[in-house]
Amino acid sequence: MDMLRIFCVAAQASSFREAASRLGISPQGVTRAVKALEQELGEVLFHRSTRQIHITAFGEQLARDAARTLERFEQLFRQAGSNADHGLAGRVGITAPHAVGRLFLLRFLQPLLAEHPDLQVELRLDDQVTDSVDAQIDIGLRVGLIRDRRYIARAVAPVPLHVVASPTLLQRDAAPQTLDELAHWPLSVLIDRRSGRPWPWMFRDGVVWQPERAAFTCDDPEAERDAVLAGLAIGQLPSYLALPAIERGELVRLLPELAPPPWELFIYRPQRGPVAPRVRLVYDHLIACFSDPARFPQ
């Protein structure tokens, strides 16, 4: 590209010295570039005398083609710079757990996309960590640990787990006070979509507990919440699903003294190359939204 730029200036000048003056380099630099280009192409580009240069017919055609090529090349970078300066355009691939994506992510993105209509969001909902390369993911959200060192992860919100039941269900008997008592109540179980195995319930001091006979089983967190709200079973739900219903009096917390340490909601991105302005914009926006307790129940 440098040789072509030097050649195009020389093609419009009366001498290599004049071309050098326009370019701000030495005449020898122009001569070396032209000779290298002639060697590369196997064609003479200029007829030279001690005082003047005359471009050849091949050189004239090459100069026209090179000028168009250089213009397209520079236009590519001008367009990229324009996108960075005006509204930020292009695709941003995002992955998130199903419930987080449906209940919060779309709502949080709506004002940003309205402000920047040229942004193109591609959303993939998955309760497991999605391979960022295969799925072309720029930003991910995940509840729990991010162990993969290919990602830069930032914890943005605690996610406590609550054992909850509807007041209607609790009318039938005294609320359970221990895990042994809890085992005699109808309980809900959430199925891991990938493995097909039930997720265990978690309690203080690292206790992992699995209901022996589930009254309600499903593979969707929102469906489990709805079953608990309907009084079909007691469930252990993350705070972002349980707290709004608790605050409305639709659910009651049980066994709070046995609650495990909160999990964390992480926002992560791959550790590869520079971060495009459009990705940085969405990344920072989501961090601000999910770290705000007024917008994401904690």
Residue 283: per-residue pLDDT: 94
Residue 95: per-residue pLDDT: 92
Q: Which residue has the higher pLDDT, 275 or 159?
A: 159
- What is 90-159+263-290's CATH superfamily? Periplasmic binding protein-like II (3.40.190.10)
Residues of the chain within CATH 3.40.190.10 domain(s) are 90-159+263-290, 161-258
Residue 80: per-residue pLDDT: 60
For residue 30, CA distances in Å to 39, 69, 278 come to 14, 20, 40
Summarised one tens digit per residue, pLDDT across range 23-40 is 889 989 999 999 999 999
Q: 21 pLDDT exceeds 90?
A: no
Stretch among 1-5, 147-151, 265-269 having the lowest mean pLDDT: 147-151
Summarised one tens digit per residue, pLDDT across range 214-223 is 999 999 999 9
In the predicted model, what is the mean pLDDT of residues 227-252? 96
Considering the chain, what is the average pLDDT of its residues?
89
Q: 200 pLDDT exceeds 80?
A: yes
Percent share of the chain, pLDDT over 90: 67
Helix ranges restricted to H, the chain: 2-11, 16-23, 27-41, 57-85, 98-100, 106-115, 167-170, 179-182, 221-229, 239-247, 277-290
In the predicted model, what is the mean pLDDT of residues 179-206? 94
State the SS3 of 199-230: CCEEEHHHEEECCCCEEEEECCHHHHHHHHHC
Residue 84: per-residue pLDDT: 52
* pTM beyond 0.75, yes or no: no
CATH C-level class of 161-258: alpha beta
Residue 139 phi/psi, 5-degree rounding, is: -140, 135
For residue 123, CA distances in Å to 92, 126, 148, 265 come to 8, 10, 21, 18
In the predicted model, what is the mean pLDDT of residues 154-174? 94
The fold for domain 2-85 equals: Arc Repressor Mutant, subunit A (1.10.10)
Residues of the chain within CATH 1.10.10.10 domain(s) are 2-85
Residue 131: per-residue pLDDT: 52
Stretch among 77-81, 156-160, 186-190 having the lowest mean pLDDT: 77-81
Alpha-carbon gap, residue 216 to 56, rounded angstroms: 85
Summarised one tens digit per residue, pLDDT across range 67-120 is 888 888 877 776 665 555 455 788 999 999 999 999 999 999 999 999 999 999
